[in-house]
Amino acid sequence: MTALDTVPTLLHDDTDWWRQASVYQIYPRSFADGNGDGIGDLRGIISRVPYLQNLGIDAVWLSPFYPSALADGGYDVDDYRDVDSKIGTLEEFDEMVAALHGVGIRLIVDVVPNHSSDRHEWFVEALAASKGSNARERYIFRDGTGENGELPPADWTSIFGGPAWTRVPDGQWYLHSFASEQPDFNWKHPEVREDFLHTLRFWSDRGVDGFRIDVAHGLAKDLGEVLPSKAELSAMPKDGTHPLWDRDEVHEIYAEWRSVFNEYTPARTAVAEAWVETPERRAKYASPTGLGQAFNFDLMDADFSAAQFRDIVSDNLAQSAVTGSSTTWVFSNHDGIRHATRYGLPPRAGRPGKQGADWVLAGGPEDGIDRALGLRRARAATLFELALPGSAYLYQGEELGLHEVAEIPDDQRQDPAFWRTTADDRGHDGLGRDGCRVPLPWTRSGSSFGFGTGTAHLPQPAWFADFSVEAEDGAEGSTLELYRKALRLRTELQSAENLTWDEDLCGIDVLAFERPGGWLSITNFGADAVALPEGEMLVSSAPVETTADGHHQLPGATTAWLRRPVS
Ligand code: NOJ
Ligand code: CA
């Protein structure tokens, strides 16, 4: 029996399931450890399927689980069509798909097409092959500059810091937009294109429902003989003609992928991670003839502010009206500072949305966060998000109200963004992303807080106990119970993909909108309570207050959902 045989008919029938799905991101190495070696694995995920079902999500997005030396947390892939032996086996993968499908949860997997790892068989072959060989052509090799080619082909910097070119023993250099263990593919090479079609079919045949495309804007490159300098490169417009990013012809690749997706019933879906200059350029990735959906990270970069949230929602809904795709919303993921923490730190002067950056950069201190305020706002923000039309992408641990871990000893850090930079040249997240990747606490005590029977691969702080599943399960008012309730209600209330701002209720610190069917969401971003309109109270992110004369009031930093009579 294959995983596909077990898919309930219901999952086959709904071709639009992705449009307004609640998608829960699992970073597999930090979710649950089934065999006690300190690294999360597929067995761990399988054992937690009842937890996922109970949470009420529609789909899981699984970050890379492929064989990898973990130079970049698995985004350095040795083999695109296998499971890392540290994480499980292909048989366990099939078992996981069947277990998820069995409870009506779909699965999206990560595809990392911009670069492989330096242990991928093609890169090993390229190193052994000579200059100008077919094997080298699959990547981006160049001769160096300087008298003896001892200088890199260009002075470019990698996204994780440090040089973007690394020299190989015979003197040539290869391009890596990220860590040196992540050589960039040459997407002009037909074998590279063919191989990814094979990979998409491989996982689709195993029952995978969709794909998250890493660095989707990076694949197509056009490097002439003479390379621009770093300064010239950064001055070039990203309008489709930039040598490295968001080139127009990248969409030819995705048109081919779309025809593969459409070979399946229902068609496989995809969501692009595309960092582009304008909403119009993002729309191209979301086209139905391309990947179909694209992340917008605008809310990750916003302060807890009514004005900023409103602009972001309006702009993105306008964009989706143009593309025909649905919008996506994200507050936290494996690359950013958890939103409960961002909202509990002072704003960064002159840098809206970069709340928390200085604190992470300084490695804490942990008590520098106002945990209660951060969490209160994060809960309000999430409830706001879950009422919006479109897909909500949630990151493991946010349903527990988990905070970022800042105090990680240097020698235990894993992120290449930390190891490739020095204290002087660190960017806003230069200490890296380990703080949001600390293994989840499942129990109040015990080895690695129930993550597994061994020691977690990143250190968990003592305060994790209070944020454990055990502490929150069934506890009135806990963040976990809030997510469960909101996700169930969302499924019930979800309707056409639009909203109407309720201008009578909106104010400087208040946003209120109504979805079809009388579903009203109202958020108070300020500190003082505001009056609530009439309606049946469905859920609120903090207790609603009642005045002496019996009127309901929405306290500061709180969202409530009400059902109002449909006229
Ligand atoms: C984006 C991924 O989300 C991130 O974790 C990774 O480091 C880079 N792409 C490179 O693959
Ligand atoms: Ca394990």
| Whole-number Å distance between alpha carbons of 66 and 63 | 9
**DSSP letter string over 126-141?**
HHHSPTT-HHHHTB-E
pLDDT at 5 over 70: no
What is the Cα Rg of the chain in Å?
Answer: 24
Residue 75: CB within 6 Å of ligand 1? yes
In the sheet that 165-167 helps form, which strands lie side by side, from edge to edge?
141-142, 173-175, 165-167
**DSSP letter string over 419-434?**
HT--TTT--TTTT-SG
1 vs 365, residue with greater confidence: 365
List, for residues 335-357, the tens digit of each pLDDT value: 999 999 999 987 766 666 666 77
Contacts of the segment 42-47: beta carbons below 8 A, 24+ positions apart = 42/83, 42/87, 42/88, 42/89, 42/92, 42/93, 42/95, 42/96, 43/88, 43/92, 44/452, 45/96, 46/92, 46/95, 46/96, 46/99
pLDDT at 4 over 50: no
Q: How far is CA 179 from CA 84, 159, 333, 448, in A?
A: 20, 8, 20, 30
Residue 33: CB within 6 Å of ligand 1? no
Residue 539 C-alpha from the chain's centroid: 26
Residue 429: CB within 6 Å of ligand 1? no
Question: Which residues on neighbouring strands pair with residue 174, listed in sequence order?
Answer: 141, 166
263 catalytic residue (yes or no): yes
Nearest ligand 1 atom to alpha carbon 72: 7
Residue 459 confidence (pLDDT): 96
Question: Which ligand ends up closest to the CA of 39?
Answer: 2
Q: How far is CA 523 from CA 247, 357, 478, 558, in A?
A: 39, 25, 19, 6
Q: Whose CA is nearest to atom 2 of ligand 1?
A: 214
Question: Which residues on neighbouring strands pair with residue 106, listed in sequence order?
Answer: 59
As a whole number, mean pLDDT of residues 263-273 equals 97
Ligand 2 centre distance from Cα of residue 25 (Å): 18
Nearest ligand 1 atom to alpha carbon 416: 7
| Cβ pair 326, 19 in contact under 8 A | yes
178, 300, 330, 418: residue to mutate for ligand 1 pocket, most atoms within 8 A of CB: 178
| Whole-number Å distance between alpha carbons of 351 and 359 | 14
Nearest ligand 1 atom to alpha carbon 215: 9
List, for residues 515-544, the tens digit of each pLDDT value: 999 999 999 999 999 999 999 999 999 999
| Whole-number Å distance between alpha carbons of 16 and 267 | 9
The residue with tokens 């994480």 is: 87
Other beta carbons within 10 Å of 429: 19
214, 414, 415, 436: residue to mutate for ligand 1 pocket, most atoms within 8 A of CB: 214
pLDDT at 258 over 60: yes
Residue 350 confidence (pLDDT): 64
Nearest ligand 1 atom to alpha carbon 333: 3
Beta-strand relationship, 500-501 and 510-515:
antiparallel
